[in-house]
Amino acid sequence: MKHINIPIFIPHLGCPFTCVFCDQNRISATRDIPGEMEVINIVENHLATIPAGSEVEIAFFGGNFTMVEKTRQEMYLATLKRYLQDGRVRGIRISTRPDGIDAQILDFLQRWGVRTIELGVQSLSDEVLKASWRGYQAADVFKACQLIKEYGFRLGIQLMIGLPGDKLDLDMKTAAKVIELRPDMVRIYPTLVIAGTHLEKLYLKGKYIPLTLAEALQNSLAVYLQFQKENIPVIRMGLQPGEELRREGCVAAGPFHPAFGELVEQEAFKAQAGKAIEQFFTAHGRHPQLLLFVHPRDISKVTGQRRSNLNYLKEQFGLELIKVRGIENLARDSVGAGTIDASAPALLLSRLEFIEQVTWDTGTGSLSHVNVKKYQK
C-alpha cells in the first residue's frame, strides 16, 4: 500500500527560536498561515488526485505544531476530524521540536487522532546544537523520543548535515545514537545558506563554510547506509525543490540540488557496483567487458546521470565496455556482475553485504571500498 502525505505548511508557527539556518517561508514557499477553509481546500484538492487504496496522512510541516497556541491546534485538528471518521485519511502527522513534547501534550494529540510525530532533531552533538541556536540539548531529544515511543506514536527524526561546527564523524555519531532510539523513519537534509538568515551573515563574513555538493553527497551517504543497515527507512534526502528555493538568490550557498536524494542513491550504487566488480574479478579473473545486473527500477541509479557511474567504473577498472541489465527477480538495492554475454550474474552483492564491507575515512569523507589499481590495465 502506497503511503501519501497531504502537506499543510505552517511556516515558523510555534517556533520559540530563529535557528541560524532557517527561513521556513522560503523553504516551504508559503508565507501565510492557513486557516480552516484553506486547510479543507488543501485536503480536498489532494484527495481528489490520490489513487484509491493509498494510505493517507495529513501532515503539518514547517513550524512546531505542539508549540502553537492550543486554540489553533484544536481548530486544525477539529477541522480534520471528519476525514479520520469517514476513513479517507488514516492519521495525522505533525512536526515539532524535541522540547515541545511532554505527557500532557501527547495525551492531547492522541485524543485527536495524531498518529506520527516527527522531531526536528538536526544533530545529537550539543556543540552543533548550540552553534545552530537550536535551544535544546541531546538529552532533551532522548527524553522526547522515549516518551513518544511509550505512547505508541510513530516516530520520525529529521537530521541536518553540514551545520555550524559539524563534521562527518559527528554525523556518524549522531546516526549511531539515532539508531539506538529506533525511529520509524528518518529524513536527511544538507544545510543550505538561505538568503536573509543568520547563517548567510556568517557565510558572508567567512565564519561558515558550507559543504560542497560532493561533500554533502558523501556525508549523507555515510549516514544513509548506517540507517539502511539497521532497516530504518530514510524517507527523504534533500529539501523539496519548491518554487521559492529555485528562485534566483534564494539559496546563497550550499549543496542544493533538486534531485539530491537520487544523487545519494546513485553514489551508493556506484560504490556497490565497484565492490561487486572487484569481487567478480577476484573470483573469475579480469574481463575487459562486463555486464551489471540490477532490479529494473534500479537501472538509472547504477547508471548515474548521463552514464556518469558507468563511465567512472569503466575508467577506474580499465574496461573496454560495461552495460547494465535489469532482472525482475533480483532484490532491490542488489548489484550483480557477469561477463558481457551472461544471462545471469556470476556474483551478486546485496546492499547489506556491501555495507558490512565498507569503511569511511572521517577525515576526508571518502568511502573506502575498492582497490581499483590492481584491476587496471
Distances (CA, A) of 318 to 158, 294, 329, 371, 376: 41, 22, 30, 13, 5
The whole model's pTM is what? 0.90
The pLDDT value given to residue 375: 38
- Domain 3-258 homologous superfamily, CATH: Aldolase class I (3.20.20.70)
Tell me which amino acid residue 3 is: H
Q: Is residue 369 predicted with pLDDT exceeding 70?
A: no
Q: Which three cell numbers stand for residue 327?
A: 532482472
The pLDDT value given to residue 30: 45
Report the distance separating Cα 61 and Cα 297, nearest Å: 30
Q: Is residue 370 predicted with pLDDT exceeding 50?
A: no
CATH 3.30.2320 in the chain: give the residue spans. 265-375
Tell me which amino acid residue 162 is: G
What are the strands, taking DSSP E only, across the chain?
A: 3-9, 55-61, 91-96, 114-122, 154-161, 185-190, 193-194, 234-237, 251-253, 289-294, 321-326, 335-339, 347-349, 359-361, 366-368
Banded pLDDT at 371 (limits 50, 70, 90): very low
CATH 3.20.20.70 in the chain: give the residue spans. 3-258
- Contact (CB, 8 A) for 132 and 163: yes
Q: Which three cell numbers stand for residue 288?
A: 575487459
Cell 493517507 sits on residue: 56
Per CATH, the number for 265-375 is 3.30.2320
pLDDT tens per residue across span 7-66? 999 876 656 556 788 764 444 444 578 999 999 999 999 999 999 889 999 999 978 899
pLDDT tens per residue across span 148-203? 999 999 999 999 999 999 999 999 999 999 999 999 999 999 999 999 899 999 99
> 14-23, 105-114, 266-275, 321-330: which range is least confident on average?
14-23
The pLDDT value given to residue 18: 63
pLDDT tens per residue across span 230-247? 999 999 999 887 766 777
pLDDT tens per residue across span 125-135? 999 999 999 99
pLDDT tens per residue across span 113-123? 999 999 999 99
Q: Name the residue among 331, 373, 338 with its Cα closest to residue 354.
A: 331
Percentage of the chain lying above the pLDDT 90 cut = 81
The pLDDT value given to residue 364: 57
